[in-house]
Every structure is written in C-alpha cells, then in structure tokens.
Structure 1
C-alpha cells in the first residue's frame, strides 16, 4: 500500500510506524512543512496513565520514550498565594521537539521516509496514493477545503492564551490563578526537562482587553506576564518561541474520511489543553486506524469506516470532558474571587464531571475532608 501522510506530528509518525511494522512492504512517506529541528511550543504533558496504551500495541516504543519523560505524582492549584497540592493525579511531560526527534528516529529506522521543509498545499501535489492521512493539525487545509464532506464544525472559544516557556523548573503540573487589576490570570506550567518548563498564560477576553494586550508589543507582553507571576517565577524569565495570543478552536467532524483521505489528531478534533490529552489522543487515533487496517486488510473503505466505529465512543467522551473544562476556565474571573482556596481547588478537580466526591475521597482524602468541613452536606 502506498501511504502518504501530511504532517509529521506524533499521530502521523506513530501511524506510520505501526503500519510499517504490520507490513514492511508498505511504501510510507510523511511530508512536514517545518525543518527537522524546528517546532512550535515547548513541552507536552500526559496523565500518568496516558502512555499505558502503548504497552499493549508497541511496548518497544513505550520503553524507548519512557526514560525521556519528566514525572511527578501530584498537581498543584495556586489560588493567589495559597498553594494546594492534590494527590492522585500523576503526570509525565517531555519537550515537544525532543518527542518529535525521538519519533523521527524511530520511524526512519523502520524504513519510513520523512520529507522535511516541504509545504504540501493540495492533494494533487501529493500524487498517486492508496491512502492519504491528514495529520496536519487544527488548521489542516485538508479539512478546511472539504468541510462539507467531513461535516466540520468549529467553535472559536473566547478566552485568550499564549504559549511561553521559562527556565524555572516547577516540581509539579501547576495551575496558578492570580487576581490583578485587569482580571484573573491563569498560568498552566510544568517542567518538561530539568531546566525548562512550559508556561502557558490564559485570560478571559475582557481581562485581555483591560490589560491592553491588543496593542502591546511582544516584549511588553512578556514583561507584563512576568510581573503578574513574579512570585511564581522567582526571578526566572519567560521565554517566547514565536508566541502569540490566540483563541482555542473546538473542532469536530461528523465524518472522518472522504474517499481515501482520513483525518487524525487535531485535524480530526481538538481537545482543550487543560486536560492534557491532545498528543495522547492523536497517538490513540493512530492505534485505532492501524487496528482497523489490521482487521480489514487492504479494503480501504471498510478500514476507514471501522476506524470511526471503534474510535468514536472513547474519543467523544474525552472531547466532551475537554469542552466542559473550557467552560470552567471561561468563568475564572467569577470563580477566583468567589471561592476559598479549598473550594476553588475542589471546583477545579470536579469541573468535568468525571470526578465526583467519592472519587475525590479516593484521590485526595485531605482535600475531600477540607471541603466537607466547609460543606458538611457533601459528606452525606
């Protein structure tokens, strides 16, 4: 089978590896618009169980990646100056470029061809292929040029966020919420290597406007954010990597394929970064698509149909939870002043509906008890 993949992110790379292992005669080429050593962003994060799915399908890849991950057993919520560690929520992280570099080497040693620094703008440009995989991100032209065929909906959410890094190495995945004269600022930050952390700043749109970011230079934007989070950064700088303010698009497709073209990862659907599942979802998409071809063989229409049948139920569950999480962040300016630190941390943990009070007792009995002291009815 001749397979051409647009986008050499984790989803496209992993699908290429699985298909090449299934049948080494598959001719697989990935096209990546960026140079080999370039990527946007800083680190990516996984829940502590997020990579477990690799063990069953590709234990060699799991063992290959695991030594490169930073790990921690808890998350921390900072409500202004009050820190609340929450147990039972382990995470792992890795630099995005390091993850991609490891995956490049992994697929290339299998015989997969990666063409870097090449912009593909049309299906015609790809030439003949039995299967085309659109793994080219949330702004995928493959999807946007065929939205009617895919049944695409896109909901641009109002909050603004900007993806920075910092040399401050934080000891856990931390969500820091600070009240300012302009409104509440949230930083999503976590260590992804011993001397670097991701530092993503999120604000409501009204806060963004009051702060004057609309007309502020990139340099002054960094300074402003450094001042807001001075207590957290402890003198360390915020680092930009072509960082800019943006809105999050909630993307969904009713149909995942169009002829011999199929979507993966963020091109298929986006899940808000607040649940730390984007890279995991893309790699799980790859596993499901691979399993569909393993089951259906060379029957491409049947395999693409089977892919959606298998993958839709678990994916939609996570996608819906991510959308509920988005709505919680869109109420930051209301929640932070109204709730005590304990109430706020509890609200964060239960925001998607996947964690109820009984589950909270299992994960962190201390936080559950502190919440019950304020709300005795919760203990009943």
Structure 2
C-alpha cells in the first residue's frame, strides 16, 4: 500500500517507521527543514518507554541513550521548596528526538521530503493519507471530521534556560498583577524547558499583550530571577499562546486518517502529547496489519485509541483547570498545596503517592489530622479518618453514607461512616418523588437518630419537594417514569414545564402556594430539630422544586421570582435557617452547574454557592446536571470533585461531594488535597471502613 504521511513531527515519523516495518511504501511530506523545531524538551513516562521498546527496539535504544532522567518534583511555593520523590521521568531534546526518528525512518526505506508545502490531502495520490500535521492541521480543516477547537487553560510561553535542573520544578510567583507559574524540567546536560503560564487577565494586567519577544524574555527573566539563579531564559520564537484543545467526532474519512495532535490534543501540563501521538502510530500500524479492508482497519484504530485518548484529555482538562485557578490555593499550607498539585489530574492518588513518596504523604496525613503543620516524623491515619467540626457538629471522620429511608440508617451507621444522610424525605405527601419516598411526619426520627448515634455515627436528613420530578414510579422500575394517572397526584413547579416528555405538566405555583411551601419547609425543619437529628439538608438540586427556580432552563416566570431566580429558594433557606437550631449544621444540596446549553454555568453556580453560605448554610452538597432530563451529566468516578474544589475555595464554604466515589483512596485524595470536606462513598464500598 502506498502511504503518504503529512507532517514530519514525532507522530508522522513514528508512523512512517511502523508502516515501513509492515512493508508499505511510505512518503513523509514536511513543510519545515529537517532541523527546524518548536519547543524544547519532550517528556516520556516509563509506560511510554515500554511501548517504544516493544514497537521498535532500535529507536528505543537511541532515545534511551539520549535521555535526561530524574525522580524528583520540586514545588516552590511561598518561599519554601517541597521535594517529592519517587517520580520517574525521562526527557529528550525535541530536536534530538526528531533526528533519531528521521534516521530510523530512512534506515527502513521511508522517503522523507522536507521543505515541501502541502495544503492538505486534496490531490495527494495515495492509498492512505496519514494526516499528522499537528494541532493546526490543514487536513482536518479540509474534510469533515466533526472537529471542535477551543482555547484551554491560561496563557503560556515556552522558553528554555541554560539552568540545568535536577528535578521537575513548579515555581509560583505572586505579583501586583496576579499569579505566574513556571513548569520546568531538564532534557539534556545543558538545557531545561521553562514554561511560564498565567491567567489571561493577569497577562493583560502585566502588559504582556503589548510586549515583543525580547520584552517577554526580559519580563520572565526578572520575574523568576531567584529560581533561575543567574541563568538565562532562552527563546525559540517563544511567544505567548493559547493552548488549543482539539476534539473530533471521527478520526478518519475515506482514505484520510488523523494522527496525534491533528486528531486530539491534551494540555501541556500533563506532558502527554508526544506519548499519545506515538501510541497512535503504533496502533494504526497494528490495525492496518490485522484488517483486510482499509475502512475496517481505520475504524479499529480509532476504536482502540479513543477511550485512552479521552481519559487523558479529561485528566488534562482537570490539570489545565487547576493551573488556571492556582491563585485560589495561596492560603493552603505548603504540604497540602504540594499534594493538591501532584494529584491535580487524577493520575496520582493518595495511595499511589504513598508508594512513591511515603514521607510526603505522612506529613500530609498528620496535617489533615492536626489542622496545622505537623512535627517531623508525625504519624496519623489517612485523611478520611480525620475528624471534622461543621456548624457545631463534630464528626468522627469524613465519610458519608446515604440511605433512601429511615429503615437502612442503623445498618449504614454500622459501616463506620461519620454521617448517615437519609433522604430524600418529603416535607408532605404532595412533595414526594414516588410512593416510596418517606414523609417526614410519618417517621419517628427520634428513634432513628438514637440508633445511628448508638452505632457511633451522626444522622442527617435531606428535606425535599420533588416539584416537576414527583409522582414517579419507584426507581427500580426506571428513572422518572410517571405513575399511572389513577395513582398520581398533582404536580407543582416554578414554571409549567414537564420534566420529561411523558411526565404530567406541573402547575405554576402562585403567591399563596409559594408561601405555603415555604412554611411547610420551615415547619419540617422544626419537627426535624425536635427529633434530635444532627444535621439538616435542604434540597436545591437535581431538578426538584427549589432547583427549578434556580435554573433558567426551568424558571420561565415573569414575576419577581423569575426576574431574580435565586430569590425564592433563598427565602426558603432563610425560613429553614430560622427554624433550625443555630448549634446544628444546615447543609444545602445544590446544583452548581446545569451542564446544558443555556443553563446555570459553573461561574454562576459559584456565586450562588456564596449566596447560600451568606444565607446561613454551613455546608454545600455539590451537585451538577439533572435540571432537565437530557442534561449532559457526567458519570465517571469523581466527576464532581473538581467542582467541589471550586465551591470550597472560591465560595468559601465547606463541601460534601459524591460523584461515584467508590474507594477510600478517592476519599483520601479529595479530602487530603482540600477539594472536599466530606465525601459520599458509593454503595459498592459499604463494608466497614475502620482505621486499624
């Protein structure tokens, strides 16, 4: 088969190597000279090196022999340097990597044509065109791949320096304009990569949008003067950039297939772009060798690679979001700041870091236990077992288990959790989600609370009004399936919008009814307090009645409750806070983002969480999506943790988070990193979890 590869970067060259080994005729077309390159060093993980070794040993040996290697990460924060050990990194100069790949491709008989301008696949005569022409791919622009490109993260500039580092280094510098950070690492015996990043508003405030290349070099040289220790910042056409996030609905069309950054990008802060590109090339060659028809082979290539790429893109998105908002962690103690940074993308966890760097994790565990920096050598249980006081209530640990009704509460308390949260519990029969929903007045919560405390836990009750999501069948029958009319009851909501196309249309609440509902919530809070329940949670989430007022998707009112969507739910919160004892915590289960076009955004949700705190909430139970039935909710494990992080640090309120956390390790990571104060463990982990 004749294959033309568009692009002579690592993706295109490694594809040429693999395809020539399979016997295909390969031509590589590259617009730049063979020694022209952008950027400085390329980082490889041990996993990627294993893939290189298995795919082409000669290439692996040459790359390995050119590596700079190190096992430490230095985090320079608030005048301190925290060194984390046990991380294995390898890096190589990008120019050297390209030379090795060019040499190997020529050895195998590939034709490499540099300084050859090609506008894209149109007019290229080949059985297969491999579009490896980078994030700004002309090939992707010419054909319909369902491509989407948008900026991700902050502004960044990719420098080098003649300072030879001995660790991957993160350095943070606060200025009058805002926070700057450097990502730096060695890649040969003479030079290190030095990437400077900041938020766009900081970049503009510092006047960097008006500086030329020389001016930017001078600015960054002075900014990181202490860290550079007299060494120079080096430039290679280094200009401030936006990182382009590239995603495509499909990676091939006809005889054209996208490879590497042309198909997908992952933010530079996780250092995986070259890794993903090379692994794409390996998988493409494997698929072509094993399948008969070209379309089948290209489909198999995409099917094999897409899940891995999407996982890395999600990790990269979490990392990019972290660095975009690093300023919010400036109040953290250095040990927690370091742990938060190292675990930012989800690829490193508390358990993983315990294996890599037990000394750092012991210091983190002791800090979480004591609430302040611990003396050297202090030993403590992991963060999930650190006590917490919220709103006057002391909980033995950070684990929360949920039960849909009162019957399961004592059993859940026996798991060792600090808090058992029962609900949803309807404020009256008309507020039920389904016939199985417990009604507050029909349960003796005093008995339930006593049994839970006897098991060593504390009891919380979530009060709800289902609104448009009421009168449904039991969840075991399906999600949001309406009851038969003969078994149903009238529904009410902020606006007359059914939750699903099959659901009854709710009536819009009038002023008198709104007063009645507010009073019913306050009365329910009073009854709950008299039942000696330890914590009360007010439900403003998941498309239920109060959440329906908050979202522009479900509140279409033209009166004052529509003009100010937050006003009615906050008035209910005020009434509940007044009825609930001041010495006991009040939680609000809150939809912080609708995850649907035209809905509540994260930034709006953060402001809402701040308002909830100001109206008396001691805790926010972070939720997202489900305001409308077809919202784009995420279901991956831990999908709400990053949002909880934002609420906790930006709204200044303690958080409870769920999001399918299924292991103690996920709880230890979230709590230890300061992303949440309490975590709901999914039912799969409800065996006893006691420190031993």
Stretch moving more, 153-162 or 257-266: 153-162
The higher relative CO (CA closer than 8 Å, separation ≥ 6) is in 1
Aligned counterparts, 1:178-327, within 5 A: 178-297=173-292, 299-327=293-321
What secondary structure, in the 3-state scheme, does the structure 2 residue paired with 1:101 have? helix
In structure 2, the gaps of 5 or more residues are: 370-381, 386-692
CA distance in 2, matches of 1:277, 1:123: 27
Superposed CA RMSD in Å reads 1.3
What secondary structure, in the 3-state scheme, does the structure 2 residue paired with 1:179 have? strand
Residues 155, 240 of structure 2: 8 Å contact kept: yes
Return the offset for 1:27.
Answer: 1.6
Where does residue 132 of structure 1 map in the other structure? 129
CA distance in 2, matches of 1:232, 1:180: 15
Match of 1:328 among 322, 327, 333: 322
Return the offset for 1:253.
Answer: 0.8
Residues 75, 90 of structure 1: 8 Å contact kept: no
Is 1:363 the equivalent of 2:356?
yes
Where does residue 26 of structure 2 map in the other structure? 28
Q: Runs ≥4 in structure 1, deviation > 4 angstroms? A: none
Where does residue 48 of structure 1 map in the other structure? 46
Return the offset for 1:141.
Answer: 0.9
Return the offset for 1:209.
Answer: 1.0
Return the offset for 1:343.
Answer: 1.1
Return the offset for 1:379.
Answer: 5.5
In structure 1, the gaps of 5 or more residues are: none
CA distance in 1, matches of 2:332, 2:297: 50
Aligned counterparts, 1:45-194, within 5 A: 45-126=43-124, 128-146=125-143, 149-194=144-189
Stretch moving more, 137-146 or 354-363: 354-363
**TM-score, L = length of structure 1:** 0.95
Aligned length: 373
What secondary structure, in the 3-state scheme, does the structure 1 residue paired with 2:44 have? strand
What secondary structure, in the 3-state scheme, does the structure 2 residue paired with 1:68 have? coil
Distance 1:354 1:192, change over 3 A: closer
Stretch moving more, 352-361 or 32-41: 352-361
Return the offset for 1:105.
Answer: 0.6
Return the offset for 1:88.
Answer: 2.2
Is 1:350 the equivalent of 2:332?
no
Is 1:13 the equivalent of 2:13?
yes
Return the offset for 1:56.
Answer: 2.0
Residues 131, 261 of structure 1: 8 Å contact kept: yes
Residues 120, 142 of structure 2: 8 Å contact kept: no
Residues 63, 92 of structure 2: 8 Å contact kept: no
CA distance in 2, matches of 1:372, 1:123: 55
Match of 2:333 among 315, 331, 340: 340
Q: Which has the larger radius of gyration?
A: 2
Distance 1:293 1:358, change over 3 A: same
What secondary structure, in the 3-state scheme, does the structure 1 residue paired with 2:95 have? helix
CA distance in 2, matches of 1:372, 1:11: 42
CA displacement 1:6-53 (0-9 Å, x = unmatched): 001111111111111111xx2210011111111111111112332111
CA displacement 1:242-264 (0-9 Å, x = unmatched): 11111111111110101100000
Residues 167, 195 of structure 1: 8 Å contact kept: yes
Stretch moving more, 60-69 or 42-51: 42-51
CA distance in 1, matches of 2:199, 2:302: 35
Residues 48, 89 of structure 1: 8 Å contact kept: no
Stretch moving more, 132-141 or 326-335: 326-335
CA distance in 2, matches of 1:359, 1:108: 41
Return the offset for 1:57.
Answer: 2.0
Residues 204, 332 of structure 1: 8 Å contact kept: no
CA displacement 1:160-184 (0-9 Å, x = unmatched): 0001111111111111111122111
Return the offset for 1:158.
Answer: 4.9
CA distance in 1, matches of 2:131, 2:146: 15
The structure that is helix-richer by fraction is 1
What secondary structure, in the 3-state scheme, does the structure 2 residue paired with 1:123 have? coil
Residues 6, 131 of structure 2: 8 Å contact kept: yes
CA displacement 1:94-132 (0-9 Å, x = unmatched): 111110011101100111001001110132342x11000
Distance 1:241 1:295, change over 3 A: same
Where does residue 383 of structure 2 map in the other structure? 378
